Structure 1
Amino acid sequence: MEFFTRTLLLCLALALASAHPVLHDHHAVDGALPERCIGIEFDAITPDEKGNTFFFKGEHLWKGFHGPAQLSNESFTELDDLHHIGHVDAAFRMHDEENKDDHDHIYFFLDDKVFSYYNHSLEDGYPKDLVEDFPGVPDHLDAAVECPKGECMTNSVLFFKGHDVHVYDIATKTVKTKSWPHLPVCTSAFRWLEHYYCFHGHNFTRFHPVTGEVSDGYPKDARNYFMKCKDFGHGGDGEIPQCSEVKLDAITTDDSGKTYSFNGSMYIRLDTHRDGLHSFPIRRTWPEVNNGVDGAFSYGDKLYLIKDDQVYIYKSGAHYTLIEGYPKSLKEELGIEGHVDAAFVCPNVHTVHVIQGNRMRDVDLTATPRAVGSDVPLPLSDIDAGMCGDDGVKVFKGSQFYRYESVMILAMGKLAPEAQPITSAMMSCQD
């Protein structure tokens, strides 16, 4: 009877183990690291003060849009050593330029505690109780994201818990709570390139930070946009090119300070180092322009894109809008015919300098009709792109550029200055 009872108990134990298998941590399976391209739901997402973006899941994080996972405490030691939780509930990078002591610090939330880091070092006095630093904000958060003044009414932080959004005013330390039941429950949130994203499952949804309104076409798969995964999106499995391989078609800075470089069918915003450089299809922002651009320049509150013998003019703003009646021909718009290699306008000047072959032709943008005013030879040919700023004129040729102190020196110079290589600090490339 005793043997029968022990046998029965053993069978029951085996049956229960089969029905409810033990969940092992990452160390139990040959030290395998999690793979985000299989479709992971992130616990938190935040950039650091240098623009590196961290994606957190359990005890692990990913740095940037590609690369393998690593243990979180290798980058932020005290998250595990002091609190022994092994995960992050929410995180954000503080935007408070009026308070330099907190600006650009990363805040992590774990249960009812908050950690403040700068340069990957834990600030003195942390961790603290969440209520001490952010009174009125609930603990055990789902997500958090910063919202600078201009995008929100004041410098704020949006804290998510369920369908409730707690809007924390950084200056007054007051909280207003909203309910956004139409938005999925966010397990992480991310402000990127002045847009706001709620991550849920392996998807994300873009929303307005004040109203919570969801943009059309969402949700979308994060693997198509926020990481490089084989067979997913325009990121695909391509590698970041070597700087020696970079070739520009055009480059320009608009009046709001946004700098765009164009290459083939893609563009990159170069003023977003703090959010990480990433390429997008040109048609994503300028849907009427297909198959790349030949030249680009900004004048007033408008962006001009040149392709073949057509000129597209877009009204700048939160979103670029094609002006009615465009595109128009180069001849009609600028009084120029033939292929354009590069075009640029210097700050506070009303002349566009158009490079065609080894010649630079100037057009007064205030004139009606517009026509070529001067036509001078250049010491260079085969120029790909050009731009003008406070540091002079840069003309790009292959993976190199030439800097001139002024347009006059470019126009009157007989010899080209020494070529300088494009670097990773300038473009999305590897030195």
Structure 2
Amino acid sequence: MKLLATLYLSLVLGLGASLPLGDLIADGGSHDATLPDRCDGIEFDAITPDETGTTIFFKGAHLWNGFLGPAQPSNEFFHELDEYGHVDAAFRMHNPENKDDHDHVYFFLDDKVFSYYNRTLEAGYPKPLQDEFPGVPSHLDAAVECPKGECPANSVLFFKGHDVHVFDIDTKVVKTKTWSHLPVCTSALRWLERYYCFHGHNFTKFNPVSGEVSGDYPKDARDYFMKCPGFGHGGEYKIPKCGDVKIDAITTDDQGKKYFFAGPIYMRLDTHRDGLHAFRITGTWKEMIHGVDAVFSYNDKLYMIKDDQVYIYKLDAHNTLIEGYPKSLKEELGIEGHVDGAFVCPNKDTVHIIQGTIIRDVDLSATPRVVTRDFPIPISEIDAGLCSQEGVYVFKGSTFYHYDSAFTLAVTKMAPVPENITPAMMGCQE
């Protein structure tokens, strides 16, 4: 089942989960006294993901590969940097229109720039910084990529003091802003479409366009970006047994982002390259304080259902609640009662709503929206439904049912044999 091949539910029971499944091993920092220990609380020189999604942390002559593990000499991986001292700033290029530099990792040392791919220095590097990024000052503090959609254009944010130099990758135009309210960033990181300024052993999340900081910051990086004894913001990480798995809702939006929801948390399933991580629903959709019953995507909007209310959010960088919402189920979809699951199949205008042992079809292109037909289904107590090119998946507890299509689900009188969610699918325990 390709759709769920990357679904790790190991983080569902730990609301503080910020580390990939493979990192759920007690680290405790490095134990070699000759190596720096980031659990002591240090200020990083630079942080960047590489082309595989591994986040690299730099400090002096050492680095850490990923969120766990001890420090290692950086010259074992990037030996050409030795001659120039420590890394000032680094970022992973986001330029899908130009395959020659997309996903390449750039390092900045004094007035020089290095470009690496697969940990190999590209031909012609190092270069003078001005040759590659004209108008950007040398001796930078930090850098981070900002793709179009999150910024007005594919850009790189270069930090020096309180000044932020926004470099347009296509036009090579630099616009300088001053964000005096933001701490001086010694490193910066774009992680799961969020932007973080690291300063000391703390970090502050910020808006990449305005520099706005919302929420309770700064926070200690050891609580979120590494596993350290005595730190962590959500308790110990627990891998549930496959028999304990329960999904409240699951969907794919029109941008190809895959989400699942369980209790107060959600997880993006399409971010496996940068790690799969659990977040509180209210951190992205602040109005959904009681979780969700069902979620579906249609026409670049995300419909979130809780009790008898429908919340509709724009699929933009800020997940903006559309003015006038929430509205009642009756007013928005022409139905009443508890919703167990909902899904829209690719390139279709019908939302299939599961209520008990009935599946109801609502034409989303019609006004007003009313139920066009309903069918009994041979399964009760369904938790969630999902439709993809591979068919329809109906989830019930730790099992799922697979149908070839929504039509098959509606007309089949007998349920298929339920299949158990497996460790290979979801990373749960036998």
Structure 2: tracts of 5 or more residues without a match:
1-28
Instruction: State the AA in 1 paired with 2:362.
Output: V
Preserved CA contact (<8 Å) 2:35 2:71: no
Query: Which consecutive residues of structure 1, in runs of 5 or more, have no partner in the other structure?
Result: 1-25
- The corresponding residue for 2:100 is 101
Alignment of 1:150-299 (within 5 A): 150-215=149-214, 217-228=216-227, 234-239=233-238, 246-299=245-298
Q: Normalization by structure 1: what TM-score?
A: 0.78
Aligned to 2:386: 387
Aligned equivalents of 1:92, 1:246: Cα separation in 2: 37
The residue number in structure 1 matching 2:373 is 373
Q: Any idea what SS the aligned residue of 2:208 has?
A: coil
Moved more, 228-237 or 134-143: 228-237
Give 2:71's aligned residue: 70
SS in 2 for 1:50: coil
Question: Which residue matches 2:58?
Answer: 56
Residue range with higher mean Cα deviation, 51-60 or 279-288: 51-60
Distance 1:296-1:153 versus aligned 2 partners, 3 A rule: closer
2:355 is aligned to 356
Residue 399 of structure 2 contacts residue 419 of structure 2 at CA under 8 Å; is this kept in 1?
yes
Q: Indicate the residue corresponding to 1:34 in structure 2.
A: 37
How much does 1:332 deviate? 5.5
Q: CA deviation at 1:48?
A: 1.8
Amino acid at match of 1:273: H
Paired residue for 2:4? none
Residues in 2 aligned to 1:335 and 1:137: alpha-carbon distance in whole angstroms: 56
Higher relative contact order (CA 8 A, sep 6+): 2
Q: SS in structure 1 opposite 2:283?
A: helix
SS in 1 for 2:407: helix
Give the drift of 1:46.
1.1
CA contact (8 A) 2:162 2:180 kept: yes
* 3-state SS in 1 of match to 2:143: strand
Q: Deviations over 1:177-234 (max 9, x none)?
A: 4443333211001123333322111222333434444446443333444445566564
Residue type of the alignment partner of 1:260: Y
Judge conservation of contact 2:46–2:88 (CA < 8 Å) in 1: yes
Label 1:78 to 1:130 Cα distance change in 2 as closer, same or farther (>3 A): farther
Give the alignment of 1:328-367 within 5 angstroms. Answer: 328-330=327-329, 333-365=332-364, 366=366
Q: Distance in 1 between matches of 2:350 and 2:132?
A: 53
Query: What does residue 44 of structure 1 align with?
Result: 46
- Structure 1: how far apart are the matches of 2:243 and 2:99? 38
Paired residues, what number? 400
TM-score (norm 2): 0.78
Tell me the distance in 1 between the aligned counterparts of 2:228 and 2:308: 37
The Cα shift of 1:268 comes to 1.2
Contact 1:277 1:428 in 2 (8 A): no
Return the alpha-carbon distance in structure 2 between the equivalents of residues 279 and 421 of structure 1: 19
What percent identity do the matched residue pairs reach? 65
Do the aligned partners of 1:189 and 1:197 also contact (CA within 8 Å) in 2?
yes
Kindly indicate whether the alpha-carbon contact (under 8 Å) linking 2:30 and 2:71 is maintained by their aligned counterparts in 1: no
